[in-house]
């Protein structure tokens, strides 16, 4: 009690905001594996997005007829709508495991599977056609996107593409009036508690900063304006080698549960003061396929007792004071990075918004639940903030849509390696990095 006296005169009140969770689409509850295949999600996607694209055609090229792949006639200009499929020479296949000769040299796993011989085809229910032309670059596009193409069939039976129409950004609700106060949202990802590379002190500093236990009064007053913390995946690293089905020796049991306990303790500290959303990532003890389901509450016996603690899906969609947030733990962008090319990660993010689809490569190269009647990755509502976790470095940019939409794009770096968290001001969507160092330098 005595210690509290020091703070009494400057007792700061933490700001608050109205939170609304909008993850329904990403939840898998009643759905089961009943032998369904992936064709259904493609089918649902095609139907959904084709209807959308058809509605855009009158404003694009109203004079052109619309065809199916089958209805193509040689030399006749028209528009076709369908799902893209990219033939890739270097794409790793599960069948390679069975290839007759095991090469003596170890297989080099390339980071990127793009090859100059890659080509695109467009598929609808009626068939496939090979795409050619200089407009549609195979290195940019990936399997799974639905687009409208203007062009004509060549003598060789291919489709010569003249122009492309993508779905574009959906409509955006207006940002709340700018008169509001500064309110901050902290994004962090790749905490990797329990990993050899992560520094426990760094995370503690972050927690202390958020909870206002760090720095002078000014700094604390900024901390008081933090209204939400979002952890975008890979919070904990559990040794996978231990989970091979054998019963664990008690020594190993603790080895496994230790990092989770440690995480829980730190999260409890945050949750005690600030609302906290935690999303699962590729290395977390969660399922693999997108959408990843919330981390189980039994992993967080401490923090889960606070009502400020929310375990969410990945992807995650929520609203704070009418500002809309959409984010993933990074798998969607990392997969695009393997199967296509861009100058930076933000460009991949822009593309997914323009394609109106967070994860086009699911299910082709990105694990995904075999939905039967819907495609939850279709972006129905335009977010104001779009974040992606577990990236190499912090990057951000403001993207503007054709209808005046404004979206803040954020790549959140891996905290465990960089010591960087990202802070966003909801008032003006401005964004800066928060860096923690634990080296004592003179």
Partner 1 sequence: MNSKKRPLPQNHQPPLQQKHHASMAEEEDLDEDVFLDETLYEEESQVLRDMEERESLASRLAKWKRPALSQPYMSQSQGVVFQQLEIDYVIGESHKELLPKSSGQAAIIRIFGVTREGHSVCCHVHGFEPYFYISCPPGMGPDDISHFHQILEERMREVNRNSKVPKLVRRVEMVHRRSIMYYQQLGSQPFLKLVVALPTMVTSCRGILDRGIQIDGLGMKSFITYESNVLFALRFMIDCNVVGGNWIEVPVGKYKKSAKNLSYCQLEFDCLYSDLISHAPEGEFSKIAPFRILSFDIECAGRKGLFPEPTHDPVIQVANLVTLQGQDQPFVRNVMTLKSCSPIVGVDVMSFDTEREVLLAWRDFIREVDPDIIIGYNICKFDLPYLIQRAEALGIPEFPMLGRVRNSRVRVKDTTFSSRQYGTRESKEVTVEGRVQFDLLQVMQRDYKLSSYSLNSVSAHFLNEQKEDVHHSIISDLQNGNPETRRRLAVYCLKDAYLPQRLLDKLMFIYNYVEMARVTGVPISFLLSRGQSIKVLSQLLRKARQKNLVIPNVKQAGSEQGTYEGATVLEARAGFYEKPIATLDFASLYPSIMMAYNLCYCTLVTPEDVRKLNLLPECINKTPSGETFVKSNLQKGILPEILEELLAARKRAKADLKEAKDPLVKAVLDGRQLALKISANSVYGFTGATVGQLPCLEISSSVTSYGRQMIEHTKKLVEEKFTTVGGYEHNAEVVYGDTDSVMVQFGVPTVEAAMNLGREAADYISGTFINPIKLEFEKVYYPYLLISKKRYAGLLWTKPDKFDKMDTKGIETVRRDNCLLVKNLVTECLHKLLIDRDIPGAVQYVKNTISDLLMNRMDLSLLVITKGLTKTGDDYEVKAAHVELAERMRKRDAATAPNVGDRVPYVIIKAAKGAKAYERSEDPIYVLENNIPIDPQYYLENQISKPLLRIFEPILKNASKELLQGSHTRSISISTPSNSGIMKFAKKQLSCIGCKALISNSDRTLCSHCKGREAELYCKTVVNVSELEKLFGRLWTQCQECQGSLHQDVLCTSRDCPIFYRRKKAQKDMAEAKLQLDRWNF
Where on the chain is the footprint of partner 1 (CB under 8 A)? Answer: 32-35, 37-39, 42-43, 46, 69-70, 72, 83, 85, 93-95, 97-102, 104, 123-129, 143-144, 157, 238, 240, 243, 245, 248, 253, 256-257, 260-261, 285-289, 296, 298-299, 301, 363-370
CB of 290 to partner 1, least distance (A): 10
The single-letter DSSP state of residue 378 is B
The single-letter DSSP state of residue 274 is S
- Exposure string of 340-374, with b = 16+ CB inside 10 Å and e = fewer, is bebeebbbbbbbbbbbbbbbbbbbbbbebbbbeee
Query: What is the rounded CA–CA span in Å between residue 37 and residue 403?
Result: 37
Task: Give the residue with the Cβ less far from partner 1, 2 or 298.
Answer: 298
Query: What is the rounded CA–CA span in Å between residue 276 and residue 274?
Result: 6
Task: Give the residue with the Cβ less far from partner 1, 13 or 246.
Answer: 246
Task: Give the residue with the Cβ less far from partner 1, 33 or 440.
Answer: 33
Asked if 394 contacts 411 with a C-beta cutoff of 8 angstroms, the reply is yes
CB of 321 to partner 1, least distance (A): 31
CB of 190 to partner 1, least distance (A): 18
- The helix (H) or strand (E) run that includes residue 318 is strand 316-320
Task: Give the residue with the Cβ less far from partner 1, 239 or 437.
Answer: 239
Of the candidates 321, 327, 391, the one whose C-alpha atom is nearest the C-alpha of residue 353 is: 327
CB of 260 to partner 1, least distance (A): 5
Helices (H), 86-216: 200-211
Task: Give the residue with the Cβ less far from partner 1, 15 or 128.
Answer: 128
Of the candidates 194, 327, 316, 298, the one whose C-alpha atom is nearest the C-alpha of residue 255 is: 194
CA angle 146, 151, 153 (to 5 degrees): 105
Task: Give the residue with the Cβ less far from partner 1, 110 or 157.
Answer: 157
CB of 277 to partner 1, least distance (A): 20
Task: Give me the half-sphere count of Cα atoms (radius 13 Å) on the Cβ side of residue 211.
Answer: 16
Task: Give the residue with the Cβ less far from partner 1, 90 or 201.
Answer: 90
Query: What is the rounded CA–CA span in Å between residue 76 and residue 66?
Result: 11
CA angle 133, 136, 140 (to 5 degrees): 145
CB of 398 to partner 1, least distance (A): 34
CB of 193 to partner 1, least distance (A): 13
């Amino acid at each position: 009690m005595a210690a509290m006296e020091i703070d009494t005169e400057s007792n700061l009140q933490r700001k608050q905001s109205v939170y609304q969770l909008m993850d329904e689409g990403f939840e898998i509850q009643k759905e089961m594996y009943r032998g369904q295949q992936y064709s259904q999600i493609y089918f649902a996607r095609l139907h959904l997005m084709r209807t959308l694209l058809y509605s855009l055609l009158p404003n694009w090229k109203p004079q052109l007829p619309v065809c199916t792949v089958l209805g193509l006639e040689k030399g006749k200009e028209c528009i076709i709508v369908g799902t893209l499929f990219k033939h890739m020479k270097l794409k790793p296949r599960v069948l390679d495991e069975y290839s007759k000769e095991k090469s003596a040299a170890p297989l080099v796993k390339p980071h990127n599977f793009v090859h100059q011989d890659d080509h695109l085809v467009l598929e609808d229910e009626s068939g496939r056609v090979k795409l050619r032309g200089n407009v549609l670059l195979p290195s940019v596009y990936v399997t799974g996107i639905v687009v409208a193409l203007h062009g004509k069939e060549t003598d060789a039976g291919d489709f010569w593409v003249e122009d492309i129409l993508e779905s574009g950004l959906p409509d955006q609700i207006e940002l709340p009036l700018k008169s509001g106060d500064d309110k901050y949202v902290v994004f962090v990802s790749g905490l990797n508690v329990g990993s050899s590379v992560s520094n426990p002190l760094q995370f503690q500093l972050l927690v202390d900063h958020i909870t206002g236990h760090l720095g002078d009064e000014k700094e604390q007053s900024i901390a008081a304006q933090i209204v939400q913390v979002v952890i975008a995946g890979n919070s904990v690293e559990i040794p996978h080698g231990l989970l091979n089905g054998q019963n664990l020796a008690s020594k190993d049991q603790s080895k496994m549960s230790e990092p989770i306990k440690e995480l829980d303790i730190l999260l409890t500290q945050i949750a005690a003061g600030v609302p906290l959303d935690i999303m699962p990532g590729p290395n977390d003890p969660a399922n693999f396929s997108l959408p990843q389901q919330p981390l189980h509450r039994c992993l967080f016996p401490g923090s889960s007792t606070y009502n400020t603690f929310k375990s969410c899906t990945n992807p995650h969609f929520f609203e704070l004071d009418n500002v809309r947030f959409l984010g993933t733990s990074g798998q969607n962008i990392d997969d695009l990075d393997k199967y296509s090319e861009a100058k930076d990660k933000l460009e991949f993010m822009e593309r997914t918004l323009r394609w109106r689809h967070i994860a086009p490569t699911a299910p082709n190269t990105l694990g995904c639940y075999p939905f039967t009647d819907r495609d939850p990755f279709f972006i129905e509502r335009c977010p104001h903030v779009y974040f992606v976790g577990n990236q190499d470095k912090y990057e951000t940019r403001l993207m503007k849509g054709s209808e005046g939409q404004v979206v803040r794009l954020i790549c959140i770096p891996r905290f465990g390696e960089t010591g960087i968290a990202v802070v966003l001001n909801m008032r003006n969507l401005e964004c800066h990095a928060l860096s923690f160092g634990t080296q004592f330098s003179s």
